[in-house]
Amino acid sequence: MTKVKMCGIKREEDIFAVNEIRPDYIGFIFFAKSKRYVSPKQADILKKLLDKNIKTVGVFVDEDINTVAKLLNCGTIDVAQLHGNEDDEYIIRLKAETNKPIIKAFRILSEQDAEYAQKSIADMILLDAGAGDGKVFDWSLVQKVKRPYFLAGGLNPENVRDALQKIQPYALDVSSGIETGGLKDAEKMKIFMDIVRKEEKE
């Protein structure tokens, strides 16, 4: 069963929506320049409202290792997703501070980028078109990736079936594709999940 991560959750009504449709992961963005930014305090409040079976992912961009480790170790987030220039040394140091899983995001512009991502020492990898800009990349570039990966970049209810049929990723990471006017749209979230579940059954 393909996993689903709904990223950029920032309101109580977003939590109520995901509790209804039960994706596998939700994402809190701790990058201050993002329009979907939440503070650690806000994330902690939202986490307490969240269904216990849904894992929380914290999205960071070149954040201080101690800050990331603290949010992991206190339970605000279950997984760290690194979206900046964090290298293997950074990941090793973070792993020394926590036993929680780490996702490293990679921008895929060529097959070489995909090969490089595949060699990451992170627990999981995320393949994206860019820095969370909601654009789709050429999925044929990742067909040789053997390890499980999160597919991100421009996913929405209109193209998710195509993604599942073409490349069968371990997980789908969606954000802007389930929004209306820059805010999460409960109806679009439900439609996205329904399509994924229906596709898995066929």
Query: Active site residue: 7, 14, 62, 64, which one?
Result: 7
What global pTM score does this model have? 0.95
- How many structural domains is the chain composed of? 1
Q: Tell me the CATH number at 103.
A: 3.20.20.70
Q: What is the mean pLDDT of residues 51-56?
A: 98
Q: What is the mean pLDDT of residues 76-99?
A: 97
Interval 150-193: pLDDT, tens: 999 999 999 999 999 999 899 999 999 999 999 999 999 999 99
pLDDT at residue 132, rounded to an integer: 54
Interval 108-161: pLDDT, tens: 999 999 999 999 999 999 999 875 556 788 999 998 899 999 999 999 999 999
Q: What is the mean pLDDT of residues 95-119?
A: 96
74: annotated active-site residue = no
pLDDT at residue 133, rounded to an integer: 55
Query: Active site residue: 24, 44, 62, 128, which one?
Result: 128
Interval 5-48: pLDDT, tens: 999 999 999 999 999 999 999 999 999 999 999 999 999 999 99
Q: What is the DSSP string of the chain?
A: --EEEEE---SHHHHHHHHHH--SEEEEE--TTSTTB--HHHHHHHHHHS-TTSEEEEEESS--HHHHHHHHHTTS-SEEEE-SS--HHHHHHHHHH--S-EEEEEE-SSHHHHHHHHT--SSEEEEESSSS------GGGGTT--S-EEE-SS--TTTHHHHHHHH--SEEEESGGGEETTEE-HHHHHHHHHHHHHHHH-
> What is the domain range of residue 116?
3-201
128: annotated active-site residue = yes
